[in-house]
Amino acid sequence: MDGLPWQVQAMAIVDANLAGKRLVIEETGTPVEKLRVQAFRPPPVGTGQVLVRMLAAPVNPADLNFIEGTYGVQPVLPTTPGVEGCGVVETSGAADYQPGDRVIFLRRAATWATHTVAAAETLFKLPTAIDPLQAAMLKVNPATAWRLLHGFGKPEAGGWIVQNAGNSAVGRCVIQLARAMGLRTLSLVRRPELMAELTRLGGEVVLLDDEAGLAAAKAALGGATAALAFNAVGGDSALRLMNLLRDGGVHITFGAMAKRPLTVPNGLLIFRDLQLRGLWVTRWIEHAPAAEVRAVYADLAARVTAGTLVQAVDSTHPLDAFPAALARLTAADRAGKVLFVPCC
Ligand SMILES: NC(=O)c1ccc[n+]([C@@H]2O[C@H](COP(=O)([O-])OP(=O)(O)OC[C@H]3O[C@@H](n4cnc5c(N)ncnc54)[C@H](OP(=O)(O)O)[C@@H]3O)[C@@H](O)[C@H]2O)c1
């Protein structure tokens, strides 16, 4: 019964009156119509579980798709959304975690709540110096950028990577990680006012995502072509990226912001042998060897702590203010991620 003392301590810490709050949906549909705030009592932790007090949890496109019922996995209703977030261990039923540890979740963990219980084996312990807002955004987008850059062959140093949605959280992570790898990025964006900011972040070429932008991109590449293209938009934008790839280059679709399918001219496959691939980072997290996944997160967490991998923050909101948070997502001047700060 070696583990008993900390289990007893854990149970003693759980306050039967601990009042929690969470966002819930009882059916899928338009997020602002389906979400509601619910009071709840966080359950006592069992052996191997941890109760986490949530510091911050972002609103990602995947969360909206999950609530709408259009994501790759369907919600089991009722449920609390939130695919990622950062919190502090409040009560631990696992030897590896102590109250006060700062953690993120490597599995879906109902993070749009003041408290959530997770299996300790699904947590990742963070450096204490990490910024909680940046940490809350660590699981999904930095890892997606990392997989895009490492999961589809090794681009040669000095080579070009092209991407659309350059201003997205993933796009910004790609710019920073690619630069650290000695790669050059050409990013297409839909808002001209963002171009200078992305250049300052390390983007070598940033252009508008339209036909004039494609012509300017070809001129900027000066006859060079890209080994990899990262597509988060779909439709015409995805095709523009194909036109910047080298023969045999790899075009990876990981998002569909424009909600438009890919239309691929036959010649790009017949004469140029482009490879069309996809990425779902969840599949990698769940199926890659655990040691590989944890090594990548250790690397990314160190970069975030050092300030060399940064995501933009638009605004933070308490859970009760979810309509205001959702409204920021479609604001013309949104300047980064929208996050809930449940325990503010
Ligand atoms: N497959 C995976 O494992 C995986 C992992 C992470 C993310 N994703 C996907 O990657 C995409 C980006 O995610 P994120 O969290 O980085 O996004 P984000 O930070 O919320 O930014 C969204 C981006 O999409 C652009 N955008 C929005 N609506 C658009 C439209 N109708 N047409 C063209 N562009 C549009 C925005 O442009 P502005 O900057 O001009 O507003 C912005 O750059 C999403 O589709 C997300 O689901 C997939």
* pLDDT, tens digit, 9 for 90 and up, residues 247-264: 999 999 999 999 999 999
Residue 186 token pair: 């050409």
3-state SS, residue 248: strand
Percent of the chain with pLDDT over 70: 95
Tell whether the model's pLDDT for residue 236 goes beyond 90.
Answer: yes
Pairing assessment for the beta strands 49-58 and 184-189 based on DSSP bridges: unpaired
Q: How far apart are CA 111 and CA 287, in angstroms?
A: 22
SS3 275: strand
SS3 216: helix
**Best residue among 164, 170, 283, 333 to mutate for probing ligand 1, ranked by most atoms within 8 Å of CB:** 170
pTM of the predicted protein model? 0.94
- Average pLDDT estimate for 321-338: 97
Task: Please determine, for residue 16, whether its predicted confidence score (pLDDT) is greater than 80.
Answer: no
Top-level class of domain 146-282:
alpha beta
Measure the CA–CA gap between 121 and 299, rounded to whole angstroms.
19
DSSP category for residue 319: G
Question: From 3.30.300.210, 3.40.50.620, 3.90.180.10, 3.40.50.150, which CATH number describes the 4-137+311-340 domain?
Answer: 3.90.180.10
CATH fold match for the domains 4-137+311-340 and 146-282: no
pLDDT at residue 17, rounded to an integer? 57
CA of 230 to the centre of ligand 1 (A): 12
CA end-to-end span of the chain: 38
Q: Which of left, alpha, beta for 326 (phi over 0: left; psi -120 to 50: alpha)?
A: alpha
List the catalytic residue out of 44, 71, 220, 276. 71
In DSSP terms, 25 is beta-bridged to 79
pLDDT at residue 111 tops 50: yes
106, 140, 239, 257: residue to mutate for ligand 1 pocket, most atoms within 8 A of CB: 257
Over residues 20-78, the pLDDT tens digits come to 999 999 999 999 999 999 999 998 999 999 999 999 999 999 999 999 999 999 999 99
The answer to whether 328 and 306 have CB atoms below 8 angstroms apart is no
* Per-domain boundaries in the chain: 4-137+311-340, 146-282
